[in-house]
Amino acid sequence: MKIRTRILLYNTLMVLLSLIVLLAVGSSVIGVWGFWKWDDNSGTEQAEALINQLSAVSSFEEADRRLEDLGYSLYVLQPAGSTAVYTGDTDGSLMHALEDEVLEKARIYNLGDDRIIARRLNPYLLIALQTRADESTPSPRSLLIWFLVVGAAAILVIMPITSLFTRKLLKHITRPLAALTGAAGRVETGDLSTPIEYHGVDEFRAVCDAFNHMQEHLKSERDKNAAYERARTDMISGISHDLRTPLTSVKGYIKGISDGIANTPEKQQRYLQTAYSKANEMDKLLEKLFFFSKLETGNLPMNKRPIDLSDFIRNYVRDASLDPDLQNVMLTADVSDTAHTVLADAEQLRRVFNNLTENALKYAHADPLRIRIWLDRADGWEIVFFSDNGHGVPESQLSSLFEQFWRADSARQSGSNSSGLGLYIVKHIIDSHGGSIRAENADGLRLIIRLPVCAAGGAAPTKEETV
C-alpha cells in the first residue's frame, strides 16, 4: 500500500472511530441519566403512599409542598362541577380522562410523557402529576435523538475537512519525496550536477540538503577519479616510452657486441658502459614505481629518529659530489653549526633530496646548473630551502607540481624520462613527517620544506610507523 493511501486511510479511520466512540459514550451517559432520573420508582412510591394517607379534612397545601419535593404537582378536583378546590386543570380534561377508572385507592397511570397518581376521595378527585415534557428538563429520548443528529452532522462536516487537511499534508510530504526520487534517478543515469530544489523549513530540508551534499561529494570524487585515470593512462604511456628507449639502446648495444660491430676492446667497453647506464635508468624508473606502489597501499615503513639537518645536508652534498651524474652541477650547502633537529626517517629524507636534485637536473635547463640548500628556523619549524638557477615554472603550473603523474607539457618533448612521480613522492614523505612543501619562482625554482622542530634532541627513541 502506498504511503499516501495509508496516511489518508489511517487518518480517516482515526477520526471516524473517534466520533463513533463519542456518540456511543454520549448515548450511554444520556441513557443512564434518563434511567436514573425517570425510572427511579422510589419517589413515585412515596408520592402514592402520601396520596393514600390524605382524608377529606387534610391540609392539601401541606400535601402539595411534600409532593413537590418528590417531583409531583397536586390537583384537587370536584368531579361534579369540574371545579378545582385547590388547583386543577381548567378544562377538566384530566378528570374526564380518569373519571370512570379512578378508585378510592391511589393508582399510577402513564399517559404519554406524563405520570399520574390518581385517587377518588369523595367528594374530590386527587391527582398527583409528574410531567416528563417539562420545557426546562428535556426527556432522555429527546436528548438522545438530538445528540445522534448533532453527531451525524459533525461526522458529515468533520470528514471532508479532515480529508482536505490530510490531502494537504500528503502533498507536503510527497513533494520532497518526489524530488528525492527524481534526484536518485538522475544520479543513477550519471547526472550529478542538478541539485534538489526544496525550500521548506521542515525535516525534509535537512534530508534534501544531505542528498545535495552527497551528490556534490560523488561528483567531486568522480571528477577526481576521472583525472586520476587520465593521469594514470598518461603515466603508463609515458613509462612505456621511458622504458622502451633505454631498453632499445641496451638491446642495440648488446646486439652490436654479439654481431661483432664492436670489434675492438675499447669499443666493446664503451658499448657495455652505455648499456649499463641505460639499464640503470630503467632500474631507477622501476624503483620509483615500486616506491609509489608502497605509498598507495600504505606499506611504506617509516623509522623516525632525531636528525640534525645541518649535518644531514652537509653529508648529502658531500656524497652527491661523488656521483658521476652530478659532476657538472655546482651543489652547495649554506648551513651553520647550529643544530636543526627534526624527527625523521633518514632514508626517506635522502630520497626527498635525491628527487629534488633529479627534478632540477631534468627541468632547470641551466648551464651550468647551480643548486643551493640552506636552513632557517621560525615559529617551531625547521625550514629547508632548495633552489636552482633554472628557468623556473610558469605560475599557472606551480600548484600542480606535487600532483601524482603530473608532468609539464615540455617534459616528453625534451626527451626526459620523467614519470611524474618524483615531486609527488616528495610531498607524500614530507606530509608523513608532519610537514609541508611549496614551490615559488625566485631566480629559478625554489622549494621550501617545513618540518616540526624536535625539542628532545638526540635523546628521542626511534619511532617506527607505516604510511
- Three state DSSP letters for 74-140: EEEEECCCCEECCCCCCCCHHHHHHCCCCCCCCEEEEECCEEEEEEEECCEEEEEEEECCCCCCCCH
Assign 56 to helix, strand or coil. coil
Ordered DSSP codes for 172-207: HHHHHHHHHHHHHHHHHTT--S--------SHHHHH
Name the CA dihedral angle for 218, 223, 224, 229, rounded to a multiple of 10 degrees.
Answer: 120
Assign 436 to helix, strand or coil. strand
Query: CA nearest 387: which of 396, 399, 376?
Result: 376
What is the per-residue pLDDT for 58? 75
* Cell triple for 218: 560523488
Q: In 10 A of CB 129, how many CB atoms? A: 19
Tell me, rounded to whole angstroms, the distance of Cα 273 from its chain centroid.
65
**CA angle centred on 462, ends 459 and 466, rounded to 5°:** 150
> Could you state, in chain order, the average pLDDT of each consecutive group of 10 residues for the chain (467 residues)?
66 76 69 55 80 81 85 76 46 53 76 77 82 53 72 76 77 82 88 83 81 90 81 69 78 86 86 85 77 68 88 91 84 88 91 90 87 91 93 84 63 48 86 91 92 67 54
Q: For residues 313 and 311, give the distance between their C-alpha atoms in angstroms, rounded to a whole number.
A: 6
72: exposed, middle or buried (Cβ count in 10 Å: 0-12, 13-18, 19+): buried
Q: For residues 399 and 384, give the distance between their C-alpha atoms in angstroms, rounded to a whole number.
A: 19
What is the per-residue pLDDT for 140? 62
Q: What residues form DSSP beta bridges with 155?
A: none
Owner of C-alpha cell 520532497: 176
